[in-house]
């Protein structure tokens, strides 16, 4: 079946999910992002690759990192950026998602960056817009968050150089995590041989092994000898009913503390997509400690999002 993200020439038309993307495209995005790091460190942080293009940020769910770094990235590519304020938009008066999109297309939108609580929202828009318009999924329900997955694999490649022989542990609420799903697809496509998910049975999806990961319920066993630890937030807003005794109990079993981190390799890196809940999934001494690359992840996100937008625009 044809991948709806690719055009007839096999080039990226939309970025909706990492699942099913060829390895070459992932590597091209990572390499392009690396070439933009220099731009983001210059005094004049602008290139003209999206000059004259209009990028619309449509965030129907809250965001700090994704929305802001998409805006910075688009501005660094010299695009015009419009942040639709959903809370005061006509969607509060009953306008449908596709009617909103049609109206923004009538204003000559070239690219949409979409976050939505419904899985499939970005796919719906991508299947609706004209062929010259590009759609980037900035997180849909619990389905996918492809640019977060890409910035996560960019960060891992930056610190660990390549994926062969790498052990990556993803810990916590995998069940509700679009970040975990996107990262797992990225890591397995790039050939990481040992991807582990760690969490209580109630927070791991049934059949998650089919994604090519091993499953651990004991955090100490799961962390043993790993190179990368990715901590996930408990997504209380997506939970239907109580899945845990308490946040304190969760922290005792699955919170990352210095005592647990020593089980990983001595040079292990600690990642978190944010927002963090200190004292729930991660201890402050780890979040702010020498193994943490949580803030560099955010910075790399700018270059990764510049790469995605410039590739979609045909540069």
Q: Residue 237: what are its φ and ψ, rounded to 5°? A: -70, -15
- Ramachandran assignment for 294, one of left (phi > 0), alpha (psi -120 to 50 degrees), beta (any other): alpha
Residue 117 in contact with ligand CP, rule: CB under 6 A: no
Q: Select from 17, 137, 148, 310 the one that contacts ligand CP (CB under 6 A).
A: 148
Looking only at the bridges linking them, the beta strands covering 111-116 and 134-140 are: parallel
Give dist(CA 68, CA 88) in Å, integer: 19
Residues 3, 40, 54, 63: which binds ligand CP (CB under 6 A)? 63
**CA 218 to CA 216: how far, in whole Å?**
6
Q: In Å, what is the CA distance from 314 to each residue of 105, 134, 146, 148? A: 19, 11, 19, 21
- Tell me the sheet residues that pair with 256: 282
**Among residues 273, 282, 287, 302, the one that binds ligand CP under rule CB under 6 A:** 273
**Cα dist. 20→7, 26, 184, 217 in Å?**
14, 10, 12, 28
End-to-end Cα separation, the chain, in angstroms: 27
Q: Does 297 bind ligand CP (CB under 6 A)?
A: no
Cα-Cα-Cα-Cα dihedral sign, residues 199, 200, 202, 206: positive
Q: Mapping DSSP to helix (H, G, I), strand (E, B) and coil, where does residue 65 land? A: helix
Of 23-31, 63-71, 219-227, 238-246, the window that binds ligand CP (rule: CB under 6 A) is: 63-71
* 105 versus 173: smaller Cβ distance to ligand CP: 173
Pattern 204-233, ligand CP, x by CB under 6 A: ------------------------------
Q: Which stretch binds ligand CP (CB under 6 A): 5-13, 123-131, 237-245, 269-277?
A: 269-277
The partner residues of 113 in beta bridges, in order of sequence, read: 57, 136
Question: Which segment (92-100, 196-204, 249-257, 272-280) binds ligand CP by CB under 6 A?
Answer: 272-280
Work out how close the CB of 297 gets to ligand CP at its nearest, in angstroms, rounded to a whole number.
Answer: 9
186 binds ligand CP (CB under 6 A): no
The answer to whether residue 295 forms part of the interface with ligand CP (CB under 6 A) is no
Candidates 5-13, 121-129, 254-262, 268-276: pick the segment binding ligand CP (CB under 6 A): 268-276
Q: How far is the CB of 24 from ligand CP (least distance, A)?
A: 26
Which of residues 49 and 139 has its CB atom nearest to ligand CP in the complex? 139
Which listed residue (38, 48, 51, 64) binds ligand CP by CB under 6 A?
Answer: 64
235 makes contact with ligand CP (CB under 6 A): no
Sole binder of ligand CP in the list 48, 165, 275, 289 (CB under 6 A): 275
Count CB neighbours of 34 within 10 A: 16
Of the candidates 99, 96, 105, 97, the one whose C-alpha atom is nearest the C-alpha of residue 134 is 105
Q: How far is the CB of 64 from ligand CP (least distance, A)?
A: 4
3-state helix vs strand vs coil in the chain, percent to 5 = 40, 15, 40
Answer yes or no whether residue 57 interacts with ligand CP by CB under 6 A: no
Measured from the CB atom, is 139 or 222 closer to ligand CP? Answer: 139
> Interface with ligand CP includes 45 (CB under 6 A)?
no
How many binding residues for ligand CP (CB under 6 A)?
9
Residue ranges binding ligand CP (CB under 6 A): 63-66, 139, 148, 273-275
């Amino acid at each position: 079946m044809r991948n709806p993200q690719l055009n007839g020439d096999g080039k990226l038309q939309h970025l909706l999910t990492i699942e099913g993307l060829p390895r070459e495209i992932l590597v091209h995005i990572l390499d392009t992002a690396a070439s933009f790091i220099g731009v983001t460190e210059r005094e004049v942080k602008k290139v003209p690759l999206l000059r004259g293009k209009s990028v619309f940020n449509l965030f129907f769910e809250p965001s700090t990192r994704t929305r802001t770094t998409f805006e910075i990235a688009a501005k660094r590519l010299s695009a015009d950026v419009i942040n639709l304020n959903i809370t005061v938009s006509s969607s509060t008066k009953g306008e449908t998602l596709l009617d909103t999109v049609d109206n923004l297309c009538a204003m000559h939108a070239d690219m949409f960056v979409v976050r939505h609580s419904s899985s499939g929202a970005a796919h719906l828009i991508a299947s609706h817009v004209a062929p010259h318009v590009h759609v980037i999924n900035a997180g849909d329900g619990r389905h996918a968050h492809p640019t977060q997955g890409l910035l996560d694999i960019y960060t891992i490649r930056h610190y660990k150089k390549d994926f062969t022989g790498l052990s990556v542990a993803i810990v916590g609420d995998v069940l509700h995590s679009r970040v975990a799903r996107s990262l797992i697809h990225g890591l397995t496509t790039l050939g990481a041989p040992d991807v582990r998910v760690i969490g209580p049975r109630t927070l791991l999806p049934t059949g998650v092994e089919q994604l090519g990961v091993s499953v651990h319920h004991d955090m100490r066993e799961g962390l043993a000898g790993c190179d990368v630890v990715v901590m996930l937030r408990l997504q209380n807003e997506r939970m239907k009913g109580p899945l845990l005794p308490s946040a304190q109990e969760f922290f005792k079993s699955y919170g990352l503390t210095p005592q647990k981190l020593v089980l990983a390799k001595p040079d292990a890196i600690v990642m978190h997509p944010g927002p963090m809940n200190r004292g729930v999934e991660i201890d402050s001494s780890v979040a702010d400690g020498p193994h943490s690359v949580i803030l560099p992840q955010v910075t790399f996100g700018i270059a990764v999002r510049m790469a995605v937008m410039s590739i979609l625009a045909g540069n």
